Every structure is written in C-alpha cells, then in structure tokens.
Amino acid sequence: MGRSLARRAIRSAAVARLEAAGVASPEHDADELLAHVLGTTRGRLALIDELSDEQATAYDALVRRRAAREPLQHLTGTAAFRHVELQVGPGVFVPRPETELLAGWAIEEAARIGEGAVVVDLCTGSGAIARAVADEVPLARVHAVELDEPALVWARRNLDGAGVDLRHGDLATAFDDLLGQVDVVVCNPPYVPLEAWESVAVEARDHDPHLALFSGQDGLDAIRALEVRAAALLKPGGVLGFEHADVQGESAPAVLSASGRWRDVRDHRDLAGRARFTTARLAL
C-alpha cells in the first residue's frame, strides 16, 4: 500500500518544500520536475502510482535545486514558447510567457504582409521570437542577432533548420545590408534599471545573463539604441515592437515619441494588466 502512495506522497513533500522556499508556482513546478524525471507529461502523472528508488532520488535532487531558486527551465532543459519548444540552460535568458504576446504581435504583422515579409529580431537571446515567427509565418524572411556569445550558442541550437538568418552582433549596428528594407523589427531588449537590482526575481538575477537584464540607471539605454537602429532598418511605414518593464509604460513609449520619427505609438498590457510592450510605425 505504501508503494502505491509513493508518487502522491513524494509530490506533496516536494510542493511543500518549494512553497517554503518562496517558489512562485510550487505545484506546477513540482509536477513539471516529476514529469521530467518520469519521462511523461503533467497530464499523465495521475496514471503513475509508484516511483523507483532511482527516480525518487533524481526527483529529490531536482526539487532541492529548484528550492535553491535555480530556474525550472534550466532543470528540465526546455522552455515552451507559443507553439515551439526551446532548449535553454545556463548562459541564456529564459523566455517568459508574457513575451509570447510581443511575439504574437510580430507574427500578426508579418502575416498581414504575407509572403516575403522581412522580420528582424534584435537581441534574440534563445531565439524564441525568431523561431516563433518562422514557425507561424513560414513565408516570412526572418533575421536575428545576438551579442552575447554564450546565448548565441543556444540560439543556434533553437534556430537550426528553421530558415532564420542568425548573426553575432550588436543591436545598434546589426544588419547594415538590410537598411530601409525591413517590414517588422521586434526586440526583447535588456530593460532592468541597475537601481532595481534587489527587486529582480532570484531566478533571473542569479541565473540569467546580466547583459540580457540590465540597461543603464533608468533601464532605457538599450531602448534608446533600438529606436535609432529600428528607424534605419525599417521601410517607411514599417513597424517596431519591443518589450519593457512594467514600470516603463510611459517612459518607454516616450523614447519613441520624443524622436519625432514614429507615429501610432501605443503601449500594450499583458494578461495580468501590467504595461508590457510598445509598438509604433515609422513615419512616412
């Protein structure tokens, strides 16, 4: 009888440990790690009653690491993003669910243009947005760039075979060969103010590359560089979309408005109602 209850008992203990450690989603994470160890899905865990000693030991080790606030995705090695699964690990920013909204906007804009739409993903990181656009708008021509070499390794893995033109470079100088030819520029830049160090989630602060997180004292340095480069890359009437911190719902769009190069500057909220990304159209 004890063995048949093992899975439920072990899972309950894991949830309690993660909750005590301050993990934001203890039940979800406990189930994801258990499914990973058992080689199944969360939805099929109820069909499994018993764990072997080896499985229980492996699960305990992963739960301990998660309780120490190591990112869940580093432990499983994957992150779901829209309709694709990405490989992630140390050295690359783990894509967040809220960024799927920005990717969805880029996908809609590319699909509206149709065949031959030119999309550029600046600061591609793991390659998440570029891969999603290539997956959902296969007739688009997708380009991506990443400055950080460890992150570039992960982007190469995730974009292999996707038909994306991936390059190593800086968002401020990338794609000289595409000046004035791009329909959609999309970017999830670093945007955390250096002064906000203590407020960053432990998982991100201690495990995501700082190049992907911090951007000057006010968090807007990369967005200022992005505004200039996007204006050079886009065709007249082309569109730009970029993510920002929830406290930058006014300051991030203001970077575009102040330059005088953009129209239809809009900010968008995520599913939790927080300011999340800005879009604009290059003036004709």
Binding-site members for S-adenosyl-L-methionine are 146, 188
pTM, full prediction: 0.81
**CA-to-CA distance for 266 and 278, rounded, in angstroms?**
6
- Closest to 66 measured CA to CA, from 25, 99, 100: 25
Binding-site members for substrate are 188-191
| pLDDT-derived band at 93, boundaries 50, 70, 90 | confident
197-212 pLDDT, tens per residue? Answer: 445 454 444 444 444 4
103-145 pLDDT, tens per residue? Answer: 999 999 999 999 999 999 999 999 999 999 999 999 999 999 9
Collapsed DSSP state (helix, strand, coil) of residue 146: strand
204-258 pLDDT, tens per residue? Answer: 444 444 444 444 456 688 898 999 999 999 999 999 999 998 888 898 999 999 9
Angle, helix 221-233 to helix 251-259, in steps of 10 degrees = 40
Residue 60 or residue 3, greater confidence: 60
- Closest to 56 measured CA to CA, from 107, 108, 10: 10
10-31 pLDDT, tens per residue? Answer: 999 999 999 999 988 899 999 9
Average pLDDT score, the chain: 87
Per-residue pLDDT, averaged over 61-70, amounts to: 89
Joined tokens for residue 225: 């560089």
- Closest to 209 measured CA to CA, from 131, 94, 110: 94
Set out the domains of the chain in order of their start, with CATH numbers.
3-68 (1.10.8.10), 78-282 (3.40.50.150)
**What is the reported pLDDT for 194?**
52
**CA-to-CA distance for 230 and 241, rounded, in angstroms?**
10
**CA-to-CA distance for 162 and 147, rounded, in angstroms?**
20
Binding-site members are 146, 188-191
Percentage of the chain with pLDDT > 90?
Answer: 60
Per-residue pLDDT, averaged over 266-281, amounts to: 94
**CA-to-CA distance for 57 and 48, rounded, in angstroms?**
17
**What is the reported pLDDT for 50?**
85
DSSP 56-92: HHHHHHHHHHHHTT--HHHHHSEEEETTEEEE--TTS
DSSP 90-101: TTSPPPPTTHHH
**Number of residues that make up the chain:** 284
CA dihedral (110, 231, 211, 191) positive or negative: negative
